[in-house]
Amino acid sequence: MTWSVKPVDGGTEVSLICENVPAGIRAEDHAEGLSSTLDNLAAFVCKSAL
């Protein structure tokens, strides 16, 4: 995975490029995992900002 972050008005844009995902991982499972990771990142960043 390659992550990039960029400041934008009102927040931060987070972009991910996922390459070489193992064949046994379904796209739906991969998307769910990424969504969970981003939710955890947002919670951490918001908590750290307090």
Would you say 42 and 35 are in contact if contact means Cβ atoms under 8 Å apart? no
The Cα-based distances of 50 to 10, 35, 41, 47 in angstroms read 16, 23, 15, 6
Per-residue pLDDT at 26 exceeds 80: yes
Percent of the chain with pLDDT over 70: 96
Would you say 21 and 37 are in contact if contact means Cβ atoms under 8 Å apart? no
The Cα-based distances of 28 to 15, 16, 18, 24, 48 in angstroms read 18, 16, 14, 12, 30
Percent of the chain with pLDDT over 90: 38
Per-residue pLDDT at 50 exceeds 80: no
